Chains A and B, each alone.
Chain A
Amino acid sequence: MIGESGSGKSLTALSIMGLLAESLEPFGSVTVTGQDGRHTQVVGTAEGDLAAMRGRDVTMIFQEPMTALNPTMRVGAQVAEVMRIHRTVPDRHTAAARAVELLDKVGLPDPAEAAKAYPHQLSGGQRQRVVVAMALANDPALLICDEPTTALDVTVQALVLDLIVRGVEARNAGMLFITHDLAVVASVCERVLVMYGGRVVEAGDVQQVFTQPRHRYTRGLIGASDLDLTRPDGRLYTIQGSVPSAGALPHGCVFRNRCIHATVECESQPRWEGSGPEDGFACWHPVRVRDAQGVGGS
């Protein structure tokens, strides 16, 4: 899932977890199916049942590992706690042993010693590895990653991304990966949702969306991200203006006040064009194939 700040990416993730603030009232439906085939209807379900789902069927990796970990608890105990709460292991000793095993799998050197460390004694990359171990401990059906590598150095990012993808593949789990970095999406995802102003404006296969974008925003975003692609005057392609705040979005097409192709038509909301929610776009003036300028375009 890609989009800029304020596009609604994180709220979407939180609504899947049933973690929206009390002041927000969700409607519509979210169904989570666990590895054991058990369904949970997130909207309208009591907190107690959601707590059973969270950390077992759906887990999440956040951007900042230091705030995701408890600073007063040894990391091994934190990994073990996730399994004990959901009773996925028979007893304390098994949980502790399994935590060390998980820390080993995520590549912490000397996992038995690392399990005894407190978060502040580890580097940023190591902390994020601990968070990955916690997120994978109960073999979830869905792993949500909200900008998991944005706070990490680029060489550490490469290793952590690899770790996450391998963990997900080994469990045959689904992954929802949220980022503003298109290159990261292209490296780890198969399908992509493009969000803007709280709506999905385009969806599809990564290859197709990034090489032949249809929504004007998607195309603008790809152009602005690509530092290897410049205009004839040597400058970068840009999108005019900036992302409006949540209260200041235009009615109709949410992107129309920044779109150079906007017309009167755009004042009403564009229909979703496509085969279904998995593949399509909502734009009155989509990019036609002949003037498409995705990656590799002229």
Chain B
Amino acid sequence: MTVPAAPQAEGMPSSSPASAVPAVRLREVTRDYRRQRTSMFTPAPVVRALRGVSLDIAQGQRFGIVGESGCGKSTLLRIIAGLDQPTTGSVEIDGTDISRLPERRLGFLRERLQLVFQDPMGSLDPRMKVRDIIAEPLVSQGKRDNLPRVLELLEAVGLQSEAADRYPHQFSGGQRQRISIARALAPDPRILVADEPVSALDVSVRAQVLNLLDELVERLSLTLIFVSHDLSVIRHVCDSVAVMTRGEVVEVGATEQIYQQAEHAYTRALIAAAPRLRTALAGRTAADLAADTLAAKESR
């Protein structure tokens, strides 16, 4: 696969093109959802899914977002990908504010940013052949004769060219996730957003897919935004991480720094709660996990 020139490189001072315009800049982003009304006489209750999130993700960074269910990480991702709009606040992708843009003006974003989802079966159309699935983002950009590009992408994600004429159900979970990755890479994006891409996979296949992502991000100099509930996966993949809980980012920093010395009680609880093979074999039981988690939650 050819490595495209980074779009911001032209006309920028060569010394620090990366730091000039962040790939993603969020300022005070909030998102309110209205619940169903429970009474005719009172307004519908409002759920605040995001509460003033500000983040900068630099070009070429491998950025992790970690948090438990309901923390707002999926809402944040949808807003970054332009699939949802914030209630207040601004979202800039490569310097362009997308927070108030209508769908018809988001075409540039679909070229620049692509997504890989958790469930590869749910995100691949079962009635489409793999070649059409992978070419779909190109077709929507008005490109024709995409087969050479499809074959190139299949090779890049480690699938045989015969895969092009088969359907998603003919593949295993790990292979389907490779197809999703190939589709995401088709329009040559600069930013790859992965939402729990390995959570539904078997352990032996998870390592293959993580290695593939690692290799592609490096080879294509992509900016990676990787969402997971599993801090150990984030630690392996990402150089920076934001920890979210209850719609807020409570801690941002270098992954290793946070892993070693978390500032926030919630982050410490998250680290304490995750069982690890080495420490478990050294004698850390479920009782220790529970006690450490509770202690970390209550610490300040």
Interface residues of A (CB under 8 A from B): 4-5, 124, 153-159, 161-166, 180-184, 186-188, 206-207, 210-211, 220-228, 230, 234-239, 242-243, 295-296
Contacts and interface: CB of A to CB of B under 8 A. Distances in A.
B40 interface: no
B286 A153 contact: no
Contacts of B281: 186, 206-207, 210-211, 295-296
Contacts of A180: 202-203
A25 to B, nearest CB: 28
Please give me the 9 A-B residue pairs with the lowest Cβ-Cβ distance, nearest first.
Answer: A186-B280, A162-B290, A153-B68, A183-B275, A239-B204, A161-B286, A4-B202, A158-B273, A236-B207
The interface residues of chain A, by DSSP majority, are classed as helix
Nearest to A4: B202
A165 B204 contact: no
Nearest to B69: A153
6 contacts: A4-B202, A210-B281, A221-B204, A230-B236, A234-B214, A238-B208
A227 B204 contact: no
Nearest to A211: B281
Contacts of B232: 227-228
Given A153-B68, A154-B229, A186-B277, A162 B174 contact: no
Contact of B229 (A4, A153, A243): A153
Interface of B: 68-69, 172-175, 202-208, 210-211, 214-215, 229-233, 235-236, 269-270, 272-278, 280-281, 284-287, 289-294, 297
B16 to A, nearest CB: 26
A166 B206 CA distance: 32
Interface class of chain B by DSSP: helix
B280 A187 contact: yes
Given A153-B229, A296-B278, A188 B285 contact: yes
B273 A182 contact: no
A47 B275 CA distance: 39
A159 B215 CA distance: 37
B280 A243 contact: no
A41 B297 CA distance: 47
A226 B203 CA distance: 10
A242 B203 contact: no
Contacts of B284: 187
A295 B236 CA distance: 17
Contacts of A226: 277
B36 to A, nearest CB: 14
A236 B280 contact: no
A235 to B, nearest CB: 5
A5 B275 CA distance: 21
Given A4-B204, A161-B286, 4 more contacts: A153-B69, A221-B203, A235-B215, A243-B202
Contacts of A228: 232, 276, 278
B221 to A, nearest CB: 17
B277 to A, nearest CB: 5
A206 B283 CA distance: 11
A271 to B, nearest CB: 25
Nearest to A227: B236
Contacts of B276: 183, 228
Contacts of A223: 207
A222 B292 CA distance: 25
A225 B278 CA distance: 11
Contacts of B211: 235-236, 238
Nearest to B173: A242
A234 B236 CA distance: 10
Nearest to A245: B172
A221 to B, nearest CB: 6
B289 A158 contact: yes
B204 A187 contact: no
Nearest to B297: A155
B275 A184 contact: yes
Contacts of A243: 172, 202, 204-205
A158 B290 contact: yes
A156 B68 CA distance: 10
Interface centre among A183, A225, A236 (most CB of B within 10 A): A183
A5 B204 contact: no
B197 to A, nearest CB: 14
Contact of A158 (B204, B206, B231, B286): B286
Contacts of B235: 227
Contacts of A224: 203-204, 206-207
Nearest to B231: A154
A223 B211 CA distance: 13
A295 B233 CA distance: 17
A137 B24 CA distance: 53
B202 A155 contact: no
